[in-house]
């Protein structure tokens, strides 16, 4: 490995630049990885497709975008100074503030000098004889490094369904995750939103009051639960800052890196009155407690799940004036929590507004996009703006959209055609020295992201340090370890209530994508323990050379 002084200048036009490590993505994981690589004394370059840092918080600037995690559990935990310097203003902070935070981090740790922005990595190939990776940008520029670390996130490859006539629309159209930086004037306009996932729920609530008319195209209603956001007053701020060690201790112990964790009791351990009281209590609390702090069998027992599902359905019915509209908003085709639960701040009340129309696509599917708007089977909805809140080619998409070639020129996309195959969600056999932060099957996929991202980055950093100390230059997951881990991940998913629901967790939202679990459902704590055990056994399951 080279040391920092041997770094090739970035301005070497036409030449292939060389680094010890290349990181793809300057979001939460890429930035932290850069900090740790520098500490190891490695030369590194981060290639970022966007024009700024932040990943999710750079791209998802649609109105209403905000954390569903408590702000003080979301920030980086590695720097006490940073924790004490940064004041979160709201319990669930919004995108503008979140983007400011990530920029603050980039400035504080002087990260930009090693980041190339507007740099879209289109391919990455492993060169066996030289044991290095070569990446190529869309402008033809190339760079090489011994290690390629992907920090591309799990929800960055946008999905716009291939609606017929999509190009013919004469108005403006946007995907929520490619929202322009310049303000989009929606006031007084006829706006259509396609999709009713977590993104749309935030967006619709924010824009309904501003637009002239809003048409919401809903295929599947969700179980949305109140976020209960609010400002953080100075006294609470001081208390938060004094209790970061306890907060992060807690998030290390819970199953998904949140402060919430499942109640060890079954719904059937308590009387119906106690159960109802507990449901109400959870409902009144901020954040994900209704999902991740509920009775333990909500997510494993159909009858238990149905009790809470019906509780939520009734909450929806109470809030929507028109009973016909209310019933359209009530989910019945999947169980509570088997899709990501959208958190909301007045979503259902928007459907009481005279300027908001709910179109149930189960009754009248979209036939095509026309020059004037959206044509469903029973009407043409004329629109000035169409907003695609249609989600992502999740988890694998950000990786398979890059032409990644490992040993023997084998493509990662081809290898994963029947579902991802990984070891710890960090490597895939046949792709030496490629380390996938928050990759498919990784514990970070079902987690309060930064909490598990820090674990991923620290594990990778320790691994690179170990390799240097022992004189290793190549790490590759063994076929056997991959087989065992992939089997374990699939086994964990099989038979769960989650596996009965078509969701992006299984790639079911993308036409033609093989349905296979993309996440690790064993919990963040178990994942951390497994990673620690592998490291303690000299990186068992990896072949080091």
Residues that bind ligand N01 (CB under 6 A): 67-68, 155, 161, 194-200, 202, 219-220, 340, 361, 366, 389-392, 504, 509
Nearest-approach distance from CB 68 to ligand N01, in angstroms: 3
When the beta carbons of 215 and 428 are compared against ligand N01, the nearer one is 215
Minimum distance, C-beta of residue 359 to ligand N01, in the bound complex (Å): 10
Least distance (Å) from ligand N01 to the CB of residue 351?
15
Contact 29, 438 (CB under 8 A): yes
Task: Convert 480-497 to b/e letters by CB count within 10 Å (16 or more is b).
Answer: ebbeebbeebeebbeeeb
Residue number, 357 or 361, with CB nearest to ligand N01: 361
Nearer to ligand N01, 194 or 477 (CB): 194
In 3D, which of 282, 297, 296, 157 has the Cα closest to residue 223? 282
Which CB atom, from 220 or from 499, has the smaller least distance to ligand N01? 220
What is d(CA 345, CA 156) in angstroms, rounded to the nearest whole number?
25
The minimum distance between CB 298 and ligand N01, in angstroms, equals 18
At its nearest, how many Å lie between ligand N01 and the CB of residue 206? 12
Task: Please state the three-class secondary structure of 153-173 as a single string.
Answer: CCCCCECCCCCCCHHHCCCEE
Distance between CA atoms of residues 126 and 243, nearest Å = 45
**How many CA within 13 A on the CB side of residue 102?**
23
For residue 531, count CB atoms less than 10 angstroms from its CB and return exposed for 0-12, middle for 13-18, buried for 19 or more: buried
With respect to ligand N01, which residue has the nearer C-beta, 22 or 369?
A: 369
CB of 343 to ligand N01, least distance (A): 7
The number of residues in the chain equals 545
Q: Which is nearer to ligand N01, 219 or 410 (CB)?
A: 219
With respect to ligand N01, which residue has the nearer C-beta, 36 or 175? Answer: 175
Beta strand 373-376 with 380-382 is antiparallel
HSE, side-chain direction, 13 A CA sphere, residue 84: 5
DSSP for 66-84, please give it. B-SS-HHHHS--S-HHHHH
Question: Minimal distance in Å, beta carbon 441 to ligand N01?
Answer: 17
């Amino acid at each position: 490995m080279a040391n920092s002084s041997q770094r090739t200048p970035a301005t070497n036009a036409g030449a292939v630049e060389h680094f010890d490590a290349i990181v793809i993505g300057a979001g939460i994981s890429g930035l932290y990885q850069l900090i740790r690589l520098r500490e190891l004394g490695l030369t590194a370059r981060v290639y970022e497709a966007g024009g700024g840092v932040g990943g999710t918080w750079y791209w998802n600037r649609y109105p209403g975008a905000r954390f569903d995690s408590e702000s003080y559990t979301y920030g980086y935990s590695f720097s006490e100074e940073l924790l004490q310097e940064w004041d979160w203003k709201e319990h669930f902070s919004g995108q503008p503030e979140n983007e400011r935070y990530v920029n603050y981090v980039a400035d504080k740790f002087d990260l930009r000098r090693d980041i190339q922005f507007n740099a879209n990595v289109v391919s990455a190939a492993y060169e066996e004889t030289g044991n290095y990776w070569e990446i190529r940008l869309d402008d033809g520029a190339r760079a090489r490094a011994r290690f390629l670390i992907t920090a591309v996130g799990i929800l960055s490859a946008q999905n716009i369904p291939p609606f017929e006539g999509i190009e013919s629309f004469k108005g403006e159209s946007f995907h929520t995750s490619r929202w322009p930086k310049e303000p989009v004037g929606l006031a007084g306009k006829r706006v259509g939103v396609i999709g009713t996932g977590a993104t749309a729920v935030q967006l619709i609530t924010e824009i309904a009051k501003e637009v002239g008319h809003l048409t919401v195209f809903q295929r599947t209603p969700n179980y949305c639960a109140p976020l209960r956001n609010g400002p953080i007053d100075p006294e609470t701020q001081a208390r938060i800052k004094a209790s970061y060690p306890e907060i992060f201790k807690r998030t290390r112990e819970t199953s998904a890196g949140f402060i919430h964790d499942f109640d060890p009791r079954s719904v059937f351990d308590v009387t119906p009155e106690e159960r109802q009281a507990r449901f109400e209590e959870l409902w009144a609390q901020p954040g994900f407690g209704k999902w991740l702090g509920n009775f333990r069998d909500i997510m494993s027992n159909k009858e238990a799940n149905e009790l809470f599902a019906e509780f939520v359905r009734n909450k929806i019915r109470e809030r929507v004036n028109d009973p016909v509209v209310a019933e359209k908003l009530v989910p019945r085709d999947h169980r509570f929590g088997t899709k990501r639960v959208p958190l909301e701040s007045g979503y259902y009340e928007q459907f009481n507004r005279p300027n908001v129309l709910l179109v149930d696509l189960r009754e009248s599917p979209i036939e095509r996009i026309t020059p004037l708007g959206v044509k469903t089977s029973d009407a043409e909805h004329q629109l000035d703006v169409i907003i695609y809140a249609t989600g992502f080619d999740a988890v694998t998409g950000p990786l398979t959209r890059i032409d990644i070639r490992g040993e023997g020129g084998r493509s990662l996309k081809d290898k994963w055609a029947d579902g991802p195959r990984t070891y710890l969600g960090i490597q895939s056999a046949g792709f030496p020295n490629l380390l996938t932060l928050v990759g498919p099957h990784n514990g970070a996929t079902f987690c309060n992201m930064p909490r598990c991202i820090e674990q991923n980055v620290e594990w990778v950093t320790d691994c690179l340090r170990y390799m240097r100390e022992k004189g290793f230059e190549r790490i590759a997951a063994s076929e056997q370890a991959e087989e065992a881990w992939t089997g374990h991940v699939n086994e964990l998913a099989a038979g769960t209530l989650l596996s009965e629901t078509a969701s992006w967790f299984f790639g079911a939202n993308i036409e033609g994508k093989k349905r296979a679990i993309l996440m690790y459902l064993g919990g963040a704590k178990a994942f951390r323990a497994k990673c620690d055990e592998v490291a303690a056994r000299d990186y068992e399951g990896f072949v080091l050379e």
